[in-house]
Structure 1
Amino acid sequence: MKKSLMSLALLLAGPALAAPAALPSVTVYKSPTCGCCEDWVEHMRESGFDVTSVDTNYMESVKVRAGVKPSLASCHTAQVGGYVIEGHVPAHDVKQLLQNQPEHRGLTIPGMPQSAPGMDIPGTPYEVLSFDAQGNTAVFSRYPG
C-alpha cells in the first residue's frame, strides 16, 4: 500500500520531483603549468560539472578563436553549452548562465582576482562580466571577496 501511495504521489507531482537535468560537459583550455587553473577545474567538478582539461602552450590562439578580447582575458578559457567562460568564474554563475540562456557570448573575470574560485585567497572584491561577440560587457554578478 505504501509503495502504491508513493508511486501515485510521484505521478501527481510530475516534473516538480523529476531529477534535475544533467549539466553539460565543460572543456577547459589551460597552460600545462598553471596550478590555479587546475584548482578551478576542481571547483567545477565539485559543483557537478564533468570537465575535460586540455593543456596547451597556445592560449592566445585559443582566446582568439573563442572571441575573447585581450581586455577580457584571464589564464584559462572554457567552453560549456555554447558559451565561453574566461577565467575563474564561479560555478554558480555558469549554472545561472546555462539555466537562463541569455544572448551572451560568455562570462569572464578579467585578470586573476585573488578571491575567485581556484585562487581562494579571501579579501579581493571582483565582478563577473558577461560579454557579447563585439566584446561589449555588462556586470553579471558581484562578489565581496
Structure 2
Amino acid sequence: MYTHGDVRTIASPRSRGLFRALATAALAALVGLIGIQAAKAADMVVYKTPTCGCCDKWIEHMEQAGFTVDARDLQNLNPIKAQLGIAGKLQSCHTATVGGYVVEGHVPADVVQRLLDEQPAIHGIAVPGMPMGSPGMEGPYTERYNVLAIGRDGRVEIYERR
C-alpha cells in the first residue's frame, strides 16, 4: 500500500510486475547504449610522438572516415613497434591497432576499412616511410606507393598499389 497525502493506493501484483518489466527494459537499454559507446570509444588506438603533425593529420583522416581514435603520445615508439612486430623496413612515424590488426604508417582509411571487411589471415598492413600524397602527407605532389600486407610469419607482399 502506498500513501500520498490523503490518497491511499494499493499496487496490484500486475502493476508491480509491469513496473519491474519497464524498469528492467530501461536498464537493459541503458546498459546497451553504454556498451555501444564503449565499443565505439576506441575503434583504433594510434601510438605516435606528441610533436608529429602528419600523425595528427592522419588521425583526422581516419576520424573523417568514421573511425574513433584513441591517440596515445609516446616519446619513444620503438618498444611498441617491437611489441607489435613491425620490422624496421616497414616502419613509419605512427603505429595503430584496429580490429586485431596492426596498421603502420599513412595507410588510407578505405584500405583499413577493406582490411576490416575482408578479414584476411595476416598480421596487418603498412605504408613504410612517409610518401608524399598519402593521407596526412598531402603536399605539392603525389608519389606512387604500396600498401604492404604483413603476414603472420613476417612475410611481406603488396596488398594494394596507390
- The TM-score, its normalising length taken from structure 1, stands at 0.81
1:72-92 deviation line (CA, Å, top 9, x unaligned): 100000000000000000000
Q: How does 1:1-145 map to 2 (within 5 A)?
A: 25-121=43-139, 122-143=141-162
- SS at structure 2 position matched to 1:39: helix
Let me know the Cα RMSD of the aligned residues: 1.5
Distance across 2 between alignment mates of 1:41 and 1:69: 22
- SS at structure 1 position matched to 2:158: strand
Could you tell me which amino acid in structure 1 is paired with residue 147 of structure 2?
Answer: V
> Deviation at 1:58?
1.9
Distance across 2 between alignment mates of 1:30 and 1:55: 5
Give the number of the structure whose alpha-carbon radius of gyration is greater. Answer: 2
State whether residues 106 and 132 of structure 1, in contact with CA within 8 Å, keep that contact through their aligned partners in structure 2: yes
Structure 1 window deviating more from structure 2 (66-75 vs 118-127): it is 118-127
1:87-123 deviation line (CA, Å, top 9, x unaligned): 0000000000000000110000011101100001232
State whether residues 72 and 110 of structure 1, in contact with CA within 8 Å, keep that contact through their aligned partners in structure 2: yes
Alignment length (residue pairs): 122
Distance across 2 between alignment mates of 1:123 and 1:26: 26
1:35-77 deviation line (CA, Å, top 9, x unaligned): 0000000000000000010000120001001100001100000
Distance across 1 between alignment mates of 2:92 and 2:63: 20
Could you tell me which amino acid in structure 2 is paired with residue 110 of structure 1?
Answer: P
Gaps of 5+ in 2: 1-39
Distance across 2 between alignment mates of 1:48 and 1:103: 24
State whether residues 67 and 133 of structure 1, in contact with CA within 8 Å, keep that contact through their aligned partners in structure 2: no
Distance across 2 between alignment mates of 1:120 and 1:104: 28
